[in-house]
Amino acid sequence: MSTIRLTLPDGSVREAAAGITGGEVARDIGPGLARAAIAARVDGEVYDLDRPIETDAEFAILTEKDPEALTVLRHSTAHILATAVRELFPGAGIGFGPAIANGFYYDFEVPRPFTPDDLETLEDKMREVAARDDPFVREVVTRAEADDRFADDPLKLERIAEFAADEIISVYTDGPFTDLCRGPHMPGTGRLKHFKLLSTAGAYWRGNENRQMLQRIYGTAWFKKDDLEAHLHQLEEARKRDHRVLGKQLDLYSIQETVGPGLVFWHPKGAMIKFLLSRYVEDDNLACGYDLVYTPNITREELFKISGHLPLYEAVQYPPMAAGAGEAEEVRYRVKPMNCPMHALVYKSQQRSYRDLPLRLSEVANVYRDEKSGTLHGLLRVRGLCMDDAHIFCTLDQAEDEIFLCLDQVDRIIRQTFGFRLQFELSTRPEHRLGNDETWDKAEDILRQALGRKGIEFDEDVGGGAFYGPKIDIRFEDAIGRLWQGPTIQLDFQLPERLDLEYTGSDNQPHRPVMIHRAIYGTLERFIGNLIEHFAGAFPLWLAPEQVRVIPIADAQAEAARAVADRLKAAGIRVHLDDRGETLNYRIREAEVNKIPYMAIVGQREADAGTVAVRTRGAGKKQDIIPVEEFEAQLREQVASKALVPYGDTG
RNA sequence: GCCGGUGUAGCUCAGUGGUAGAGCACCUCACUCGUAAUGAGGUGGCCGUCGGUUCGAUCCCGACCACCGGCUCCA
């Protein structure tokens, strides 16, 4: 028998007989490690403890501390869920059951959907399975054996049929249940203690809406009870930040059944935020050399035929309306789902010279998309949306500078102003595409150059670009670590072609410009939804719909308080005077609950001294007693600099 | 669109086959207060919509509408 060399994380090398298992190595090292061991990492791949190691390798024992171990735990928990389902629902088809972020799911084909009661019963059954402490046993099987073992489960047979000829097929058994599975798994079911089933959902087999619908169960699992509880608490916290809950509490917006799903009513406070965001990006656009345009909301359908959107995009376009009363012939009109053809028509409205380029046209515009009903979600997925849209018309040679400018704007606005962390992804040519490879080479190169020049690290989604050009997608991460789809910057060769856009070059010949589509916020609806959750409703001063609430302690100071409010109002501060006959405590609480950045409290001492007692949102009793003019100056400064204070989770 | 769940006052929710309740909010009165809910009284609901079962439906059944959780992070 040959000897292999295992290099441990501390650099030491152990020699062992080929075929030794990770569990045996752990036992050799020490009983403590053997008890703690969950799996082994062999040359980067995670092995079960009882899987033989045949060659020299970098070797490590994984314990609860290793992130990979958590994945193993969750995957194994998914298996005991399947074990429980098979015991309670004999004959259930077994789909896929992977570990996912924070937990796992498993898909089943069962005669009737699971109920919330089923989840409790299944969870109890899972605890029984765990109590049995059955080992997870790995076997490698041939394709024929696999077909035989899973003969009664068509879902598994379908997967088996897809294995490449040389692929290793493994199965895992815990007690009565055997599953086709890549693994790895925990040593036994007894280690699975802190889990909870969370929800059920329908899920199409293999995510394909033309296939049958399976029943999915989601759950979470952790090594420690505290971790499980912390995670459940975190879910609760995220729920408190939910923009739909806060949007109602803070009276920012509503969506009303009488008008229709996905159509947003911005109430005064939400509308103020939308206005401030629009003004901010428009000011920034102007400073960056964009021109503003306003274009129609509806158009003859013909335009979308010419632009090529109609056949491709029709699923989300509202159906046409007939118009043209009194005219000889009725014409079909469409509400616009995007602005690009409109902006292209502005470009086309006159002859363009190379001296006009780049031409940057921007518009904060409403567009409408008939999104599938099941996908609508608060402000994050709507049917009537307001885009901060812009299109840059330029030569291919100018494109790099223009992209650079876009990246600069994204960085300034999304990262610096709002405090989001950014992630970039470059999507390159897809299989089905327009234009020759030479142009694609150049276009992709342009995007890479611009990213590089800005010093941005990025991932590549090979083949993920649009058929008309490559793009940069930007995701941003909010205050509690969630990722959101953010701005996109796309190069487009097709639309200039389809709309026959031209400019006259210095050679006095006609040339085709390229178009760059870009949005900074994306849509105001989604972005405001993100901001609500990011700030937990506690907006920074410059964005807060109400910035200061002035509160006289008693009626005797009402006039002095009014004078303070008037003064701040004259300084452009959004201020509200709360001189109602409620108790001081009541009014302070209400301002706090409404997440007003500052309270300016005026008692007799302040009225006499020309000061205010400033109470900052979330700071409790701590207050600053300062002259009114000093308060005003501070407010002005914070608004002007768009300071991210005061904000925080005020609970 | 598809699967499941839910729909009762402005909000959060309880409840029953015999035409409905709480807290908060709102209104009135009293209190004029030094940093997170003063007290008392009062207004307010076609129990999502339409149909069916029933002597009788908010409750049971069906359809529709809306909302909520999901619909590959691949064995």
Over residues A130-163, the pLDDT tens digits come to 999 999 999 999 998 999 999 888 899 999 988 8
Determine if strand B comes within 7 Å of the CB of A610: no
User: Nearest nt to A256, CA vs C1'?
Assistant: B66
User: In whole angstroms, what is the distance from residue A566 CA to residue A152 CA?
Assistant: 78
What are the DSSP calls for A492-535, one per residue?
Answer: ESHHHHHTT--EE-TTS-EEPPEEEEEEEEEEHHHHHHHHHHHT
A5-14, A176-185, A265-274: which has the highest mean pLDDT?
Answer: A265-274
Q: What is the pLDDT of residue A649?
A: 39
Residue that the structure tokens 């629902």 belong to: A89
- Decide: CB of A616 under 7 A of nucleic strand B: no
What is the structure's pLDDT at A561?
A: 96
**Comparing C-alpha atoms, which of A640, A379, A340 is closest to residue A493?**
A340
Question: CA(A113)–C1'(B55) in Å?
Answer: 38
* C1' of B64 to CA of A372 (Å): 18
Distance CA A216, CA A82 (A): 11
Positions of chain B reached by protein Cβ under 7 A: 1-5, 11-12, 30-38, 65-75
Give residue numbers, 252 to 271 of A, with CB < 7 Å from strand B. 255, 257, 260-262
Report if CB A621 to strand B is under 7 Å: yes
Which nucleotide lies closest to A183 by the C1' atom and the CA atom?
B75
**Nearest-nucleotide field for A202 (CA, C1'):** B3
Least reliable range by pLDDT among A2-11, A77-86, A360-369? A2-11
Outline where DSSP puts E strands in A213-309: 213-222, 253-255, 264-266, 291-292, 298-300
Minimum mean pLDDT range among A73-82, A315-324, A493-502: A315-324
Strand B closer than 7 A to residue A210 Cβ: no
Rounded Cα distance between A379 and A524, Å, is: 9
Does the pLDDT at position A1 exceed 70?
A: no
Q: Return the closest nucleotide (C1') to the Cα of A75.
A: B75
Q: Which domains are present in chain A?
A: 3-63 (3.10.20.30), 68-225 (3.30.980.10), 264-534 (3.30.930.10), 548-641 (3.40.50.800)
Q: Does residue A295 reach within 7 angstroms of strand B, measured from its CB? A: no
A626 touches strand B (CB under 7 A): no
Q: Is the pLDDT of residue A166 over 90?
A: no
Backbone angles phi, psi at A10, to 5 degrees: -85, 5
Which amino acid, A65?
K
CB distance A378 to A244 below 8 Å: yes
Q: What is the pLDDT of residue A650?
A: 39
**Residue pair A633/A573 in contact by the 8 Å Cβ criterion:** no
Residue ranges in A50-133 assigned as alpha helix (H): 67-88, 116-132
Kindly tell me if the per-residue pLDDT of A547 is higher than 50. Answer: yes
Q: Which of residues 138-177 of A touch strand B (CB under 7 A)?
A: 156, 159, 162-163, 167-170
Distance in angstroms: CA A378, C1' B16: 34
CA of A317 to C1' of B3 (A): 26
| Residue A558 approaches strand B within 7 Å at CB | no
The per-residue pLDDT for range A578-598, each reduced to its tens digit, is: 999 999 999 999 999 999 999
Which pLDDT tens digit goes with each residue over A95-120?
A: 999 999 889 999 999 888 888 778 88
Residue A568 Cβ under 7 A from any strand B atom:
no
pLDDT at A309 exceeding the cut of 90: no
Please check whether strand B approaches the CB of A96 to within 7 Å. yes
The answer to whether the pTM exceeds 0.95 is no
Spacing of A256 CA from B1 C1' in Å:
21
Collapse the DSSP code of A583 into the 3-class scheme (helix H, G, I; strand E, B; otherwise coil) and give the result. coil
Q: Can you point out the beta strands (E) in A410-513?
A: 421-427, 458-461, 471-477, 483-492, 503-504, 510-511
- Given a cut of 90, whether residue A502 has pLDDT beyond it is yes
Question: Residue A580, CA: closest nucleotide via C1'?
Answer: B32
In tens, the pLDDT along A41-65 reads: 999 889 999 899 988 989 999 999 8
Distance in Å, residue A97 CA to nucleotide B72 C1': 10
Picking from A46, A74, A78, A102, the residue whose alpha carbon sits closest to that of residue A37 is: A46
The pLDDT value given to residue A316: 87
The CA distance from A496 to A357, in Å, is 14
Q: Nearest nt (C1') to A156 (CA)?
A: B75
CB of A238 nearer than 7 A to strand B: no
Integer Rg of chain A from CA: 31
Which nucleotide is at minimal CA–C1' distance from A216?
Answer: B70
**Per-residue pLDDT averaged across A68-72, rounded?**
92
Mean pLDDT for chain A?
91
A192: DSSP letter: -
Among candidates A92, A119, A89, A136, which has minimal Cα distance to A195?
A119
List, in sequence order, every residue forming a beta bridge with A520; answer none if it has no partner.
Answer: none
With a 7 Å cutoff on the CB, does A510 touch strand B?
Answer: no
**What pLDDT, on the 0 to 100 scale, is given for residue A651?**
34
Angle at A103 between CA A464 and CA A65, to 5 degrees: 105
CB atoms within 10 A of CB A285: 21
Name the residue with the least CA to C1' distance from nucleotide B36. A589
Percentage of chain A lying above the pLDDT 70 cut: 98
Query: Of all nucleotides in the shown strands, which has a C1' nearest the CA of A608?
Result: B34
Distance A480 CA to B22 C1' (A): 36
Residue A193 beta carbon within 7 A of nucleic strand B: no
Give residue-wise pLDDT tens across range A448-484: 999 999 999 998 888 888 888 899 999 988 877 778 8
User: How far apart, in whole angstroms, are the C-alpha atoms of residue A477 and residue A539?
Assistant: 17
Position A485 scores a pLDDT of 84
